[in-house]
């Protein structure tokens, strides 16, 4: 327990512009935790290098991801915002937990199979063991609650298994974390393949709406969104494209599906898609403006990074001192 508040931890990779799926399903909801919880929100740059990165671009995207966290409403005075590689205990605990994670557990991870297929020329050890590092990210802060997308539930279950295994061997060391999956926006689908989740790494730009896209680009993408051969704007089976657009519309407006269906009853798909595009673009305008302001002040971003790393380091060091002692490492006396 930290300052009598429970701990929330979440991390986002700096591996491309975040999508409205990341925004609606995760980041937009993060600020609601800050009153009740001590929140750690991390830019997980160490996870990003399991795939080859251009160094200058990775650095730039690290600043951008931190700025996006704040532009989406995360106050650095109420939340610990930091960069993973600035806190060396992540790597240290990651290696230790590798030694308490079974090969078979890692080989069953569906994301390893997916990423191996996409990066067949670079199936590196980090790609295989990164769930252990993800477990370290979470367990390092004695995290009670982890906001996760449905595609990360398997990794969270592994983190829980590792924590339980370590605790059984050495006595209570780690809090066993619970997942928190938001209902609204938990699964925003591709605009071009509505059976598939929207992904920031999708090669088809028309499939993905990014938080920082211009209003014109957002509206163009919604106008090109795949629907179906019918003409009714209703939510349900066989209407995956329209269902996805209704979900997006209700997430941004706060209306129910029934209210949205009633609003667009008798209207055409073109009019509906334009309305969804406009409400999305208008809702994101303040985020884009605040992001631009923050990116123009690199010194402030670096100040937030330093402040966040210092806070995270203090908590991480306490956990690592306990872990090192339990597994039998010696400590230098200062």
Catalytic residues: 115, 197, 200
Scanning the chain, the segments in alpha helix (DSSP H) are 20-22, 28-30, 45-48, 55-71, 89-98, 103-107, 110-118, 125-139, 153-170, 215-223, 240-253, 257-263, 269-295, 298-327
Angle at 203 between CA 82 and CA 10, to 5 degrees: 20
Contact yes or no for 89/316 (Cβ under 8 A): yes
- C-alpha distances in angstroms, 37 versus 9, 31, 141, 173, 307? 10, 10, 12, 20, 18
C-alpha 45/C-alpha 59 separation (Å) is 9
- C-alpha distances in angstroms, 19 versus 12, 32, 110? 12, 20, 22
SS3 291: helix
The CB density around residue 173, as the number of other CB atoms within 10 Å, is 17
C-alpha 134/C-alpha 11 separation (Å) is 9
> What is the torsion angle, in degrees rounded to the nearest 10, for the CA atoms of residue 241, residue 245, residue 247 and residue 251?
160
- C-alpha distances in angstroms, 313 versus 15, 81, 202, 316? 24, 12, 35, 5
C-alpha 238/C-alpha 243 separation (Å) is 9
Tokens of 54: 């251009």
């Amino acid at each position: 327990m930290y300052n009598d508040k429970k701990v929330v931890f979440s991390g986002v990779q700096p591996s491309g512009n975040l999508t409205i799926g990341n925004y609606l399903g995760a980041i937009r909801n993060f600020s609601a935790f800050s009153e009740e919880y001590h929140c750690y929100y991390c830019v997980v740059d160490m996870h990003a290098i399991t795939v080859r990165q251009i160094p200058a671009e990775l650095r730039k995207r690290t600043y951008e991801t931190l700025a996006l966290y704040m532009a989406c409403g995360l106050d650095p005075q109420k939340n610990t915002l930091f960069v993973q590689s600035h806190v060396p205990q992540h790597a240290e605990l990651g290696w230790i937990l590798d030694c308490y994670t079974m090969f078979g557990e890692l080989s069953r991870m569906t994301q390893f199979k997916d990423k191996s297929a996409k990066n067949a020329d670079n199936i590196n050890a980090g790609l295989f063991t990164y769930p252990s590092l993800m477990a370290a990210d979470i367990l390092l802060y004695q995290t009670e609650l982890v906001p996760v997308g449905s595609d990360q539930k398997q990794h969270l279950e592994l983190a829980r298994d590792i924590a339980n295994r370590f605790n059984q061997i050495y006595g209570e060391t780690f809090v066993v974390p619970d997942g928190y999956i938001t209902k609204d926006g938990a699964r925003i689908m591709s605009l071009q393949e509505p059976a598939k989740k929207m992904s920031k790494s999708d090669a088809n730009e028309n499939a993905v709406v990014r938080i920082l896209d211009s209003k014109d680009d957002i509206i163009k993408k919604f106008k090109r969104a795949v629907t179906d051969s019918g003409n009714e704007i209703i939510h349900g089976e066989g209407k995956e494209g329209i269902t996805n657009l209704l979900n997006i519309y209700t997430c941004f407006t706060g209306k129910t599906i029934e209210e949205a269906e009633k609003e667009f009853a008798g209207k055409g798909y073109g009019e509906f898609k334009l309305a969804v595009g406009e409400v999305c673009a208008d809702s994101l305008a303040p985020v884009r403006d605040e992001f631009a302001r923050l990116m123009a002040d690199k010194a402030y971003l670096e100040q937030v990074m330093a402040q966040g790393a210092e806070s995270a380091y203090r908590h991480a060091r306490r956990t690592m001192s306990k872990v090192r002692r339990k597994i039998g490492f010696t400590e230098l006396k200062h």
